Amino acid sequence: MAARERLGPHGPLAKVLPGYEPREEQLRMADAVERALRESGTLLIEAGTGTGKSLAYLVPAAESAQRVVISTATKALGEQLVEKDIPTLKRLGLHPDVTLVKGLSNYVCKRRLEEYRQAIVTGAVAPEHGIDRILDWVERTETGDRSDLPSLPEDAPVWREVTSSSDTRIGAKCRFYEECFVTKMRRSAEASQIIVTNHHLFCADLALRNGFSGAQALPDYDAIIFDEAHALEDVATEFFGVRLTRTRVDTLVRDADRALRAAGFFVDRSREQSVLRTLMQLSSGALRLFSSIPRSTGRLLLQASMRRGEFDDGARLLMEGLDGLLGHVRDFVGSSDQLLSVSRRAATLKESLQTILDEESQTHVAFAEPDARGGGAIGASPVEIGPLMKERLWSRKGAVILASATLSTGGDFAFIRQRLGMPEDTAEHSLPSPFDYGEQAGLYIPRNLPEPREDRWLDAACAEIKKLIAITGGGAFVLCTSVRVMRALYDALRDAWAFPTWVQGQLPKRVLLDRFRAAHDGVLFATSSFWEGVDVPGRALRLVIIDKLPFDAPNDPVTGARIARLIEQGIKPFEALQVPAAALALKQGFGRLIRTRKDVGIVAILDRRIVTRSYGKTLIESLPPASRLSSLDEVRAFWTMADARSAPDEAPSDEAPWRPL
């Protein structure tokens, strides 16, 4: 049965769900996905919020009999697909085997847990808080997934001691391999038709397949569907690069010491002294290198001037220490799982360091990320991922489908196609949202505010935010383009009203969202992670305030390198890169507001450049067609009318799986 028939007015869903209303946009998307799967084509499909895109690709995927990977930008959406949307397929008469595959750090490692327990017993380490909870849970859990242990805080230090990771996993040589939770998850994936994962793990799989023969994080597949595909470039940039942290070096030193002692390596006194000197060299090198990074609020270009002195000395000590450690363990890796892991990690760190220090690279840009504790990171990212995507993704056989509510800019897909290096024969579809934005949403852009670069802007923005929140009675996201501005606005306004108020970082993201939804009149100050992938339907969110136009900082090393590359090619980077990227981000921020047909609210952009600069037209045209509001009086009038028209909140129904995120 075709997907259109299953989702149509006379299909199984209409028969079992009272009040179900098919949507033409969803049916058209299902047709396009079905065609791409059948013809092994490449497809870009922009489906506005409310289209119901999850079922529009899940049904054709299940019907195809192909093994399909569905990749999402966030773990939360992947979990929703498995827990809510996939079960709906059964009501349509479809029963595919499905496995949710997460990154290794989500799973407890039985080998590392046992080693940590033994270290506690022998007194080698002091037990971290929460270890008893994990030891009890691991006897009962079927998945080993930390999401099944909600009582353990997200930032619990003990999890770092026992989690699986690419650094510590040793595969079939591990004595716990057969009972390993990762092994079980991967075998389940091998037997499944649909594999749900996230962009991070998918890109890690692409990187693994390119770097190591036979290495992969996912089983072989016939087709790939990316949901929230607008995030793919940023994730691919991260995973096709390398990153080295002081924590990784310190952890390697600690684990090497434990592994060598457990293997009896230190029985020989002279050998012990030699190894300890090597480990000290690694620690000293990491301390020197990372302490030399200048303090900053963001990533820094790793310029030649920064590579001298302490940085250069630290890098030399690190490289020599890694060579020394590899030499010490080379003849003993076969005698110990732990030593095999140490050897692999040391080799990977050495390769990463060599890539970062390569000043002649034409393909990568090196950067440093400082932190307040003298740790931080250094890394190297590809300037362009298009060629890498062409080599590793577009050249493979099988359908590749990219779906999102935000893929086009200025009315076409040229930007995303160019950034991802997509094939010329890629099919394109743009499907409008079924929502009536003119009735449901107002767009307010105050022209009287100073420009964001002016000193007066912060005080003026605070005054405007107070007035807006008074009009809607709270229920607001204040989305900021930087942590600095977020903190400044929050500090200035948190006592300005009686509504419950939170700031990102105050509590885990999930807890913040739960409290915001429950409050109905809350105010949440947040940055980039709340601009997308956040779903708050109903009256709990009725006002979205955006502080500034979300242009990427030109002094960011990767953005700066991409700007320089375009200039070399005779292309104007502001028009070709910065404006389209800002348009996609702005559309994502706007998209937090209207999530269902009953939602109403206002988006306020406190940056007058969107109406005073020539590029503003492109940005506005990329947004949904909301009612334009030019004064607070118009905001008040729109809100009064829209609020009166909207129906009272209703609890989300399990009988309404078509309401999309």
Question: Is residue 650 a part of any domain in this protein?
Answer: no
Tell which phi-psi region holds residue 22, choosing left (phi > 0), alpha (psi between -120 and 50) or beta: beta
Return the CATH number at 297.
Answer: 1.10.275
Distance CA 457, CA 488 (A): 12
Same domain, 205 and 285: no
Distance CA 548, CA 2 (A): 45
**pLDDT tier at 267, thresholds 50, 70, 90:** low
Asked if pLDDT for residue 522 goes beyond 70, the answer is: yes
Distance CA 504, CA 512 (A): 8
319 Cβ contact list (under 8 Å, min separation 6) = 285, 350, 353, 354
Residue showing tokens 């890796």: 333
The pLDDT tens digits for 244-253 are: 999 899 989 9
Distance CA 218, CA 195 (A): 9
Secondary-structure breakdown of the chain: helix, strand, coil percentages, each rounded to the nearest 5: 50, 15, 35
Asked if pLDDT for residue 491 goes beyond 80, the answer is: yes
Between the CA of residue 204 and those of 72, 107, 303, 414, what are the distances in Å?
14, 16, 28, 26
Question: Is residue 275 a part of any domain in this protein?
Answer: yes
Same domain, 461 and 510: yes
Question: Is residue 652 a part of any domain in this protein?
Answer: no
**pLDDT tier at 430, thresholds 50, 70, 90:** very high
Same domain, 55 and 90: yes
pLDDT of residue 306: 78
Question: Is residue 605 a part of any domain in this protein?
Answer: yes
Question: Is residue 79 a part of any domain in this protein?
Answer: yes
Average pLDDT in the chain: 90
Same domain, 19 and 91: yes
What is the CB neighbour count within 10 angstroms for residue 132? 10
3-state secondary structure string, 28-62?
HHHHHHHHHHHHCCEEEEEECCCCCHHHHHHHHHH
Give the count of domains, the chain: 4
Same domain, 288 and 317: yes
Q: Do residues 635 and 470 lie in contact, with contact meaning Cβ atoms separated by under 8 Å?
A: no
Same domain, 330 and 392: no
> What percentage of the chain exceeds 70 in pLDDT?
96
pLDDT of residue 658: 34
Distance CA 88, CA 85 (A): 5
**Nearest-5° angle of CA 25, CA 582, CA 430?**
15
The pLDDT tens digits for 54-90 are: 999 999 999 998 999 999 998 888 988 999 899 989 8
pLDDT of residue 171: 78
Q: In what order do the strands lie in the sheet with 364-369?
A: 242-245, 377-382, 364-369, 300-301
Q: Do residues 165 and 182 lie in contact, with contact meaning Cβ atoms separated by under 8 Å?
A: no
Could you give the 3-state DSSP secondary structure of residue 224?
Answer: strand
Same domain, 204 and 254: no
Asked if pLDDT for residue 654 goes beyond 50, the answer is: no
Task: Look up the domain containing 599 and give its range.
Answer: 437-553+584-645
Return the CATH number at 501.
Answer: 3.40.50.300
Same domain, 307 and 404: no
Question: Is residue 305 a part of any domain in this protein?
Answer: yes
Alpha-helical (H) ranges within 263-336 are: 269-291, 309-329
Same domain, 540 and 606: yes
Same domain, 375 and 390: no
Question: Is residue 450 a part of any domain in this protein?
Answer: yes
> What percentage of the chain exceeds 90 in pLDDT?
67
Instruction: Decide which of 431, 455, 488 is a domain's last residue.
Output: 431
Same domain, 418 and 499: no
Instruction: Decide which of 374, 399, 431 is a domain's last residue.
Output: 431
**pLDDT tier at 144, thresholds 50, 70, 90:** very high
The residues with which 69 forms a beta bridge, in sequence order, are: 195, 224
Asked if pLDDT for residue 632 goes beyond 90, the answer is: yes
The model's pTM: 0.88
Same domain, 72 and 127: no
The pLDDT tens digits for 161-201 are: 999 987 778 778 788 999 999 999 999 999 999 999 999 99
Instruction: Decide which of 185, 208, 227 is a domain's last residue.
Output: 185
Stretch 106-133: mean pLDDT = 90
Question: Is residue 653 a part of any domain in this protein?
Answer: no
